[in-house]
Copies of this chain bind each other. A is one copy, B any other.
């Protein structure tokens, strides 16, 4: 079943210890859509400026990604520039030019309104709610957010969360949203806000999922060469939600496989700038790496 994704489509300028990429394709909806498209059709809702050309669109072409919802507005495309620390452990935002994204009002094409799976990328929670009001009866709503909204629009975010089944956050965001340092308590507090499943992304330390089936811990793949972490979280979400939508599963076993698939996709994302590695990826490569996770984590009973 197709996934409706709403989020940013952007130009990124990224500096890492390994090099610099200038005005390459980025944005949460871009990483999400390409990752998810390996498993499920995707309906993309976002906005770009008139400087967003066919070269960038090429990333979406030839994949089951519907672009009717990708609005083109007069002006320039959202541009983010960041610089990573020597060990890639932290990054500074050099500049954020919202450009046309500042005026983004998600309009969901009629064809998308029956979407059963919705992914609300990290945008203003007011807009996230507007999206939900335009879709009919989604079976699964997954959502991302960030500190900016947790602090800036807490009441609005709470309203959105009441309608979210799966929330994806990083550990710091989970702590800030809940006011609890301990992640087990943070998860309980957040799940009481609405989402029955909370997926806490911990970067190189993997993922913790808290839900009705208990807790699930997945490591990140230990990689010798992490080149650029930009988009890893959105790529995780794409693999996770894409896999769920593609298989139609909802139970604990499906959620766990989806976490591993998200981790698998994220492990590819960080191997190159922008979406470069995702764009060269094949399904056999994905399945092989999924199996690496099984090898990485398996142990016998007593």
Contact = CB atoms under 8 A, between A and B. Distances in A.
Interface string A208-239: 10100011111100111110000000000000
A192 interface: no
A287 B302 CA distance: 8
Chain A contact residues, majority secondary structure: mixed
A296 interface: yes
B301 A291 contact: yes
A215 B222 contact: yes
A291 to B, nearest CB: 7
A181 interface: yes
Contacts of A101: none
A151 to B, nearest CB: 19
Contacts of A205: 202, 205-206
Interface in A60-94: 86-87
A253 interface: yes
Interface stretch (A44-52, A255-263, A272-280): A255-263
Contacts of A214: 295-296
B296 A257 contact: no
A44 to B, nearest CB: 26
A154 to B, nearest CB: 21
A291 B302 CA distance: 8
A203 to B, nearest CB: 10
A102 interface: no
A208 B297 CA distance: 10
B224 A184 contact: yes
Identical copies in the complex: 2
A186 B223 CA distance: 11
A182 interface: yes
A299 interface: yes
A252 to B, nearest CB: 10
A302 B210 CA distance: 21
A299 B257 contact: yes
A127 B295 CA distance: 38
A290 interface: yes
Interface in A34-53: none
- By Cβ-Cβ distance, the 5 closest A-B pairs, closest first, are A217-B219, A205-B205, A256-B299, A87-B181, A184-B224
20 contacts: A86-B181, A87-B181, A182-B225, A183-B222, A184-B222, A202-B205, A205-B205, A210-B222, A216-B297, A216-B299, A217-B296, A217-B297, A219-B219, A253-B299, A256-B298, A256-B299, A257-B300, A291-B301, A291-B302, A297-B299
Interface of A: 86-87, 181-185, 202, 205-206, 208, 210, 214-219, 222-226, 253, 256-257, 259-260, 287, 290-291, 293-302
